[in-house]
Structure 1
Amino acid sequence: MPGEQRNTVWNIPLERNPFFTGREEILGEIRDALLSSGKAAFSGLGGIGKTQTAVEYAYRHKDDYYHILWVKAESKESLTSDFAQLATPLNLPEKQVKDQQEFVNAVLRWLKQHDEWLLILDNADDLSLIQPFIQDFQSGHILLTTRAQATGTISRVEVKKLPEQEGVVFLLLRAKMITKDTSNDTIPPELRDRSLPIVRELDGLPLAFDQAGAYIEATHCGLAAYFELYKSHGIELLKERGLFAPGHPDPVATTWILSFQKIEQANPATAELLRCCAFLHPDSIPEELIIEGASELGPILGPVAGNTLSFNNAIGDILKFSLIHRHMTTKTLDIHRLVQAVILKSLDGEIHQQWNERFIRAMDHVFPSPEFENWPQCERLLVQAQHCTSMIITNNLGSQEGARNLNQTAIYLYERARYPDAEPLFQRSLAIWEEALGPTHPDVATSLNNLGGLYDSQGQYGKAEPLYQRALAIREQALGPTHPQVATSLNNLGLLYHRQGQYGKAEPLLQRALAIAEQALGPTHPDVAASLNNLAGLYDSQGQYGKAEPLYQRTLTILEEALGLEHPDTQTVRENYEDFLKKMEDENK
C-alpha cells in the first residue's frame, strides 16, 4: 500500500544470522505454500536449522506483512504465555485484564479481524497443542517449525541436511576464514580440502557446523587440528548417538564435549554456569534467576553470579562457543535442548541431586509472593517455576523449599484461574508438609486451606468442605480458638455453606469469625471489614436487609478510613453497597 503509514508489530526474538547459508529452494517452497494455503511448516531433525530458516524468511519478507509475530510453541505454558503477551504490542483493550486466557482470546479475535500478518510458531513439535490457536483463520499466514513428520492439512517443507558445498561455505564463514562476499567458486583450494573432511563428518547439520566453526575461531586450532581432535572423540560420539533419530550419527555431541572441556579448563565457574543452565527450562531463562539466586548456586558459581562483571565475563566465555544465546533486551538466556542433554549425561547421580536442590532453593529465593502487583514478575518466571515443580514431582523430592515452590507457583496459577495446572502442585505441597511436619502442623492447615480454596472456586464443594474442616480443626488445636488464622478458616467454611444455600450452617461460623477478628485485630482493621462484608452478604442473600445494611455501612467506613476512598477494595464495596440500596428501593416500590 504505497503512501500509507503502517502501524506494524515485529516481535521476532532473534537477530538475522549473518552466517545463514543456502536454503534458497525451501525458502521459495515455504513462500509458495503460504501464498497457496496460508499455513505451512518447516519440518526436520533437531538442530537442522528450522528456526534459523524461519527467522531468515521473516527478515526477507518483512515488507510483505504489516505484522510479524513470534510465539514459542513447545508447551501449553509457553504457547499461552506468548500469545497473552502479544496483547501489549498489539495494543488491545484487553491488555489490562487479569485473566491470561482473556489475553489469548483477545489476540485470536484480533488475528481473525485483520490480515497481512505472519504468525510463526516455533518448536511446535506437538501439533495437538497448537490446534486451538490456528483454527478458523481466513487471512494471514501461519508458519510452524516442528520435528513432526506428519503435519496433517498443513503444508510441510522438509529442512534437510545442508549440501556438502553449502556446508563448506557455512563452516568457513562461521570460523571467520572467509567473508560473506566469498563465493563457493572462489574459496581457496587448500581451505576447501581441509574443511571437506569436517563437513562430511558433521553430516550436514548446521548446528554442528556452527559449533565447529565457533570452536575453531575461539581456539585458532585450525581445520586439520580440529578434525584430528574430533576423530579422537569417537567414543563420546557413540555414547550420545541416541539423542537423534535412529541411524543418524551425532557429531553435535562430540563438538559440544570439546567445548565443555575447553570451558572447564579455562574457568570452572563458567562451566558451573553452563551446568546450571542445563537444569533449567531451556528457553527464556531470566538472568535474575541466576543473579538473585546466586547464594543458592554453590561455592564456585555463587560468587560469580553475584558479581555483574564476573557474570558477564562468564557469559562471554560461553558465547564464544555459541552454547547459549543471550538476549540483551529481555535479559534472558537460551540453551539448546541437546546441549542440555549432553551436559546432563556427563554428570553422575550425586551431582544431579546437588543441582536439583540448588535449582529448588534458587527458585524459592527468587519467585515473588504472588500478589497482584507481582504478577508480571511471576509470569516472567513461570516457565522456570513450572519446570522446577515438574522436577520436584517427577523425582519425588520432599524438601520444604520444594513445598514452598509448589505452593507459591500453585497460588499464582490459581489467581490466574489456571486451576488444572495448580491442583497437582497444591496436592504435592500438602503431601510434603504432612510428611515433613506431621498432620497437625499449622503449615499443613495452610496447604489444606489452599487446596480447599481451589476446589471451592470450581464449585467442587464436596471436595472443598472436608479440607476446610480439617484446616479449621488443626488451627484451633495448634493456635487456639481465637487466633486470626482460625477466623480465616471460619470465613472460608462459612462462605462455602453460603454458596450452597446452607445459611443456617454459615451464620454462626461467620459471626464467630467476625468476633475473633475484632478481638485480635481491633474494630477498624481491614480484615474485620472483610468479615463484616461476608456476614452482610449472607443476610442480603436471605432478604434480611435490616441486618445487612449496618454491616455494609460499617464495612465501607472501615475501608474508607484504612485504605482510602480510591482503593480498589473500597470502590468494590461502595459499588456493592450502592447496588444493595437500589435493590431495597426497588423492592419497596
Structure 2
Amino acid sequence: MASTASFYGTNHGFQLGYNSGTIGPITIENHLPPGKFSEMCYELFADSRSWKERPETPPPPSSTVPFRRDPDFVDRGTLLDRILEKGSASPSRIALVGLGGVGKSQLVIEYSYQVRDRSPDTWVFWVHTSNAARFEQSYREIADRVKIPGRKDPKTNIFNLVSEWLHNEGKGKWMLILDSIDDDRFLHEIPLSSRDESDSRIPAQPLFNYLPLNAHGSIIITTRSRGVAAKMVEDGDIIAVESMDQIHAQTLFEKKLGKQENQEDIIELIAALEFMPLAIVQAAAYIKQRAPRSSVKQYLTEFQKNDYRKMSLLDYKGGQLRRDQEAKNSIILTWQISFNHLRQERPTAADLLSLMSFFDGHGIAEFLLYDRNQKGTNHDSMENETSDKDEISAVDSDVNDQFEEDIVTLRNFSFISVNMDGASFGMHGLVQLAMQKWLETNGQHEQWKQQFIQNLSKEFPKPEYRNWEKCELIFPHAQSAVAQLPHTDNLLEEWALLLNNAALFALSKGNIIEAEKMAVNVMKATKEKLGSEHESTLSSTNMVGLVLDRQGKYKEAEAMHRQALATREKVLGVDHLDTLISMSNLSLVLNKQGKYEEAEAIHRQTLAARERILGVDHPNTLTSIGNLGLILNRQKKYKEAEAMNRQALAGFEKVLGVDHPDTLTSRSILGFGLYMQEKYEEAEAMHRQALAGYNKVLGVDHPNTQTSIGNLGLVLDRQGKYEEAEVMHRQALAGFEKVLGVDHPNTLTSMDNLSLVLERQGKYKEAEAMHRQALAGYNKVLGADHPDTLASLSSLGTVLERQGKYEEAEEMNQQALATREKVLGVDHPNTLASMDNLSLVLERQGKYEEAEVMYQRVLAGYKKVLGADHPNTLASLSNLGMVLYRQGKYKEAEAMHRQALEVREKVLGVDHPNTLTSMSNLSLVLDGQGKYEEAEPMHRQALAGYEKVLGVDHAMTLMSMRYLSVVLKKQGRRDEALEVLHTYIQLQQLKLGPDHPDTISATADFNDWQPKHRKRDMVTRFFRKQ
C-alpha cells in the first residue's frame, strides 16, 4: 500500500513504505532540483519564520472593477434596464450572451458603477474566468480587498475563504462579475488522477460550488456561449446582447470621434462595421489618430478597397471567431485596418501588440514585455558594449520612455487595458486571436511566437520553493505556450525547457493534470523533431516518468525512467548529474513496486557518485542519503535507516531551512522510521511538526499534507488514541479522494489505514467493507502481485480472523503467502509476515501443531534475515511461546517468553511496550502452571508499565488489567478480582462501547463471578444510569 509525498525540483527523491500484514504502510517520495542553492535561502526562510499576520480593520465596501468608467458610454435602450431589473431580484444570477465585440463587458462595467452609485454599501468584485489559474488569482484579490483574516496563510483554501465571506450576510451586499467565461469546463469538472493523454481539458476542483447563491448577493456573467450560460443561470435570466441599432451606433461613433458633418458617410461606415461597438470604437480611434489627414470618408474608402485582405482573414479555420461570420468579419477587418495604421505610425507599438497577443489575456506582467528584439539579445549585451554609466542610464531611460509611449498608443486604440495595479495589462482574447491571424497573413507569426517563447523561457525560473511566487505569476502564460509549437530546433529547445519547468512546478503544487499535459506534449514534439537522444527529449521523458509515478502508474513510469537512464548513460556518461537524476527516479519506482534489492543497489550507486561529485552537504546528496534511508526502512533495517534519515534531516535544515518542503518531507520520513521502531512519542512529535509545516507552506489540499495527516494517524493508532487516529485517517482519505481520485494508490492506502483503526475499535463490519474496497482498487490499479495489494490482502485476512471468519481468513493469508513467496522469495520479511499472520489464524482455529510448525519457520527466517535481536524476531519468538502455552507445553513456552523478555529488556528497556508485552505473556504461562504468586506481581508490573507509557485506557493496558483480574480470581481473591474487572469494564465501555466483544465477555464474567446471592448484571445497570 503506497501513499506519497513529494519534494520538488528536477532531482527526484524519496519514497517510503512498509508492508507487513496488518499494519498499513505509508510511502513518501522526494523530488529535489539540481543546481546550487542560493545563499539567499537562509535570509529568505528567516524572514518567513518571523512573519505573523496582524489584525486589520475591515475596509468599507468598494469595487475591484479594473476599468475606469467610460464617459462615452451609450445607453442602448432598455438593455441596462433589463440588467437592473433581473439584478435586483433576490437572489440574482444573470448572464449576458453575445459575440465578442458587442460590448458585453462595457455594459457590466457601466452597470457596476450604477450599482455603486445607488448603493455605496454594495461590494462589487470583478473575476477573470479564462482559466482556473486566473479565477484563483481573482479570488485572492477579493480576499485582499476585503481583508479576510487568514488570506496570507499559505495553507488557506482561498476558494473556501472567499465563499464563506460571501455567504456571511453580515458582510453586506455584494455583486460578483464573471467576465468572458467562454470555456467553463474548469468550473464544473471534478479532477481525475489518471486520464487519457489526448484529453486536453483542464479540470480542477468544482469551482462552481464556490459561487454563492444567496439573498444579499448577485452574480452577472458575460460569455459568448449560450451553452455556457445555460449551465450557470436559468433560461429566463439569459440576456442576449446583439449589435447596436443605427441610432446608438452613430451616437457611440460621434462620442468617440467628435461631431462630424457628413452624416451619410458615418451611417455607411457603421453599417459596414455591422454596428459592432468594438469595431466602431476602434475605427473612430484610427481616424482620430490620423486627423486631420484622415476622415470618415477616407476610412470608408480604404475599407472598401481591401476585399482581398478581407477574404484572407475570413479563411481562418476554427476558434471563437467563426461562431458568427456576419458579426466577426467586420471586427477582424477593423483590427486589420487599425493595425496596418499602427504599424506605419508607431512600429514599436505594433511590435508590442504583436508580442502581447500570445500571452494569457489577463495579467500580462510588464517585465515579460520589455524584450522585443527577435534575435533574442538581452539588455546585458547593451551594457557590455559601453563602460560609460551615464550613457547606459540614458539608453535605459530612452527604452522606458519608448515603452510608455507604446502603451499609451495601444490604449488609445482600445487594444489593451491597464489593470489597476499599474504593472500588468489586459488584452481581449478575440483581439489576440485576430492579431495572430494578421501576423500569419503578414508572415510575422513565427517571429513573434519566437519572442514570446524566449521571453517566457528567460523569465520562468527553476521551480524551487523560493521561486514559487514568480512561477505562479507566469504559469498561466506557460499554459498558453503549450499550443505554440515552434518550427525551428533552437526555439523548440527553449519551448521544451519552459514547459518542463512549468510542468515540474505544476507537479510541485499537486496539479498533476496540467503537468501531464505539458510533459506529454513536449516529449512528443522533441522526440519527433530532435530525436530520442536529444537533451530536451530526455528531460521531457524524465518528466513524463515523474507524472506517471505520481499517478500510480508504476510500470509505465519504470519504462520511462529506464529509457531515459539508458540513453543518458550512453550520451552523457554514468557520472553526469542528469544521469544520476534518472538513476534516482528509477530507484524510487522500483521501490514502490517492491523491487527492493535493485532499488537499494541503485540508491547506493547514486549516493556514492553524488558524494564524490557534489559533496556531502549538497541538496542532491542529501536526497540520496534520504533515499537510501527509505529503502532500508522498507527492508526493516531500522537502525541504519534512522541514522541515514537523521543525517539527511540535519543537512536539509542546515542548507534549506526548517520550513522548506524538502526538509518537511525528510522530517516526515524520519518520523515514519521512528514509528516503525515503536518510538511513538518522538514519531508523533516529528509528524506533528511536519504537518504544521506542510499546512503552512503547501496548503491543506496538497497531497504531501494529506500524506502527513495519514502518517500522524498511524502513530496515534499505535498509541491507542483511536478516536483521534480515525479523524486523521478520514480527513486524509477525503483529501486524497478529492485531489487524486478514488483509485489512486495514495487514496487506497489511506482507506486501508482507516480500516485498521476501525478494526481496533471493534467496528469490524465497516473495517471489512473498507478493506475489500481497498483490495479491489489495488488489484485494479497495481495488480494482484504488487506488494501493496498483498499487504491489503493480508489486512483483510486479519479483520476476518477477528470476526471469527477463520476459513476465509486462512484462505486470504494462504493466498498472500503464496504470492509473496513467488514474488519476494521465502526469506523476505514481508513473506515471513504473511506466514506469521497465517500461523495466527491456524492458532485461532485450534490447529496448534500446524501453527507451531509455521511459527518455527517464521522464527528461523527472521533470525536468518534480521538477526536474533530484531523486533520482528522477538515478536515471532513470543508468538511461538503463546502457541506452546496453548498446547500445555508450559516449560518450553516459559523458556521462550523468558528469552524474549530478557532480550527486550536489554535492547528496548524495561518500560518499552514490547518489553511489557513479554512480561505479560510470561505471566500468563506462569499462571497456566499455577505459579500464581510469581505471575501476579509480574502482571501488576506490566499493568503499571502500560499505564505509565501508554495511558490507562490503551488497549494493552486494558488487556493487562483483564489478565490481572483472572489471576486474582484463580487465587480465590474474588473481591479484588471483581474490583479490577469492574474498572476494566468501565474503561472498556468508554473506549470501545458496550457492544464490543471484549466488553460483552468481561460483563458476562463479572456477573458469573458474583456470589450467588448477589448475582445480577451490575455493570449493565450501572452504565444505564450513567
Both proteins in one fold, TM over 0.5: yes
What is the 5 A alignment of 1:525-540?
533=667, 536-540=670-674
Question: Does the CA contact (< 8 Å) of 1:389 and 1:405 recur in 2?
Answer: no
Task: Using the TM superposition, give the Cα deviation of residue 87 of structure 1 relative to its aligned residue in structure 2, in angstroms.
Answer: 1.9
| 1:148 maps to 2:203 | no
CA-to-partner distance for each residue in 1:331-355, whole Å, 9 max, x for gaps?
Answer: 2222233332333223349743333
Q: Which residue of 31, 50, 75 maps to 2:84?
A: 31
Rate the CA distance shift 1:98–1:68 in 2: closer, same or farther, 3 A: same
Measure the CA separation in 1 of the matches of 2:545 and 2:408.
48
Question: Does the CA contact (< 8 Å) of 1:120 and 1:142 recur in 2?
Answer: yes
Which residue pairs with 2:158 in the alignment? 103
What is the 5 A alignment of 1:137-536?
137-139=213-215, 140-150=217-227, 151-152=229-230, 153-154=233-234, 155-175=237-257, 177-178=258-259, 190-220=261-291, 221-241=294-314, 243-249=321-327, 250-291=329-370, 293=371, 298=376, 307-327=399-419, 329-348=421-440, 351-392=444-485, 399-428=492-521, 444=538, 448=542, 467=561, 468-470=584-586, 473=602, 476=605, 480=609, 482=611, 483=613, 485=620, 487-489=622-624, 491-492=626-627, 495=630, 502-504=634-636, 533=667, 536=670
What SS does structure 1 have at the residue aligned with 2:71? coil
Look up the equivalent residue of 2:181 and give its one-letter code. A
Look up the equivalent residue of 2:340 and give its one-letter code. Q
Look up the equivalent residue of 1:193 and give its one-letter code. E
Question: Does the CA contact (< 8 Å) of 1:297 and 1:362 recur in 2?
Answer: no
TM-score normalised by the chain length of structure 2: 0.47
Contiguous gaps of at least 5 residues in structure 2: 1-57, 189-207, 383-394, 562-583, 589-601, 691-707, 720-911, 913-946, 952-1026
What is the 5 A alignment of 1:45-60?
45-60=99-114
CA-to-partner distance for each residue in 1:157-199, whole Å, 9 max, x for gaps?
Answer: 1112111011111111111x23xxxxxxxxx7x3423311111
Which residue pairs with 2:176 in the alignment? 119
Measure the CA separation in 1 of the matches of 2:604 and 2:364.
39
Q: Which residue of 61, 73, 86 maps to 1:20?
A: 73
Question: Does the CA contact (< 8 Å) of 1:70 and 1:120 recur in 2?
Answer: yes
What SS does structure 1 have at the residue aligned with 2:214? coil
Measure the CA separation in 1 of the matches of 2:669 and 2:251.
76
Task: Using the TM superposition, give the Cα deviation of residue 256 of structure 1 relative to its aligned residue in structure 2, in angstroms.
Answer: 1.8
Task: Using the TM superposition, give the Cα deviation of residue 14 of structure 1 relative to its aligned residue in structure 2, in angstroms.
Answer: 1.0
Rate the CA distance shift 1:389–1:587 in 2: closer, same or farther, 3 A: farther
Question: Does the CA contact (< 8 Å) of 1:427 and 1:451 recur in 2?
Answer: yes
Which residue pairs with 1:569 in the alignment? none
Rate the CA distance shift 1:418–1:162 in 2: closer, same or farther, 3 A: same
Rate the CA distance shift 1:444–1:19 in 2: closer, same or farther, 3 A: same
Which residue pairs with 2:760 in the alignment? none
Alignment: residue pair count? 542
Rate the CA distance shift 1:146–1:535 in 2: closer, same or farther, 3 A: closer
Task: Using the TM superposition, give the Cα deviation of residue 491 of structure 1 relative to its aligned residue in structure 2, in angstroms.
Answer: 2.6
Question: Does the CA contact (< 8 Å) of 1:491 and 1:510 recur in 2?
Answer: no
Which residue pairs with 1:565 in the alignment? none
CA-to-partner distance for each residue in 1:114-154, whole Å, 9 max, x for gaps?
Answer: 35110000012234544514655222101000112243343
Measure the CA separation in 2 of the matches of 1:299 and 1:523.
39
Measure the CA separation in 2 of the matches of 1:72 and 1:489.
43
Measure the CA separation in 1 of the matches of 2:149 and 2:632.
37
Measure the CA separation in 2 of the matches of 1:338 and 1:327.
18
Measure the CA separation in 2 of the matches of 1:197 and 1:522.
72
What SS does structure 2 have at the residue aligned with 1:118? strand
Question: Does the CA contact (< 8 Å) of 2:376 and 2:451 recur in 1?
Answer: yes
Q: Which residue of 926, 945, 949 maps to 1:587?
A: 949
Measure the CA separation in 1 of the matches of 2:492 and 2:681.
49
Question: Does the CA contact (< 8 Å) of 2:61 and 2:122 recur in 1?
Answer: yes
Which residue pairs with 1:542 in the alignment? 676
More relative contact order, 1 or 2 (CA 8 Å, 6+ apart): 2
Question: Does the CA contact (< 8 Å) of 2:355 and 2:449 recur in 1?
Answer: no
Question: Does the CA contact (< 8 Å) of 1:17 and 1:56 recur in 2?
Answer: yes
Measure the CA separation in 1 of the matches of 2:224 and 2:78.
19
Rate the CA distance shift 1:94–1:420 in 2: closer, same or farther, 3 A: farther
CA-to-partner distance for each residue in 1:372-413, whole Å, 9 max, x for gaps?
Answer: 454443332221122123434999997332233123322332
Which residue pairs with 1:185 in the alignment? none
User: Which structure would you say has the larger Rg?
Assistant: 2
Measure the CA separation in 2 of the matches of 1:432 and 1:548.
50
TM-score normalised by the chain length of structure 1: 0.77
- Aligned-residue Cα RMSD (Å) equals 4.5
Measure the CA separation in 2 of the matches of 1:266 and 1:479.
64
Moved more, 437-446 or 261-270: 437-446
Moved more, 40-49 or 122-131: 122-131
Which residue pairs with 2:867 in the alignment? none
Measure the CA separation in 2 of the matches of 1:507 and 1:265.
75
Task: Using the TM superposition, give the Cα deviation of residue 325 of structure 1 relative to its aligned residue in structure 2, in angstroms.
Answer: 2.2
Rate the CA distance shift 1:541–1:60 in 2: closer, same or farther, 3 A: same
Identity over aligned residues, as a percent?
22
Question: Does the CA contact (< 8 Å) of 1:47 and 1:206 recur in 2?
Answer: yes
Look up the equivalent residue of 1:58 and give its one-letter code. S
Question: Does the CA contact (< 8 Å) of 2:98 and 2:242 recur in 1?
Answer: yes
What SS does structure 1 have at the residue aligned with 2:150? helix
Measure the CA separation in 2 of the matches of 1:356 and 1:173.
37
Contiguous gaps of at least 5 residues in structure 1: 179-187, 557-571
Rate the CA distance shift 1:438–1:156 in 2: closer, same or farther, 3 A: closer
Which residue pairs with 2:843 in the alignment? none
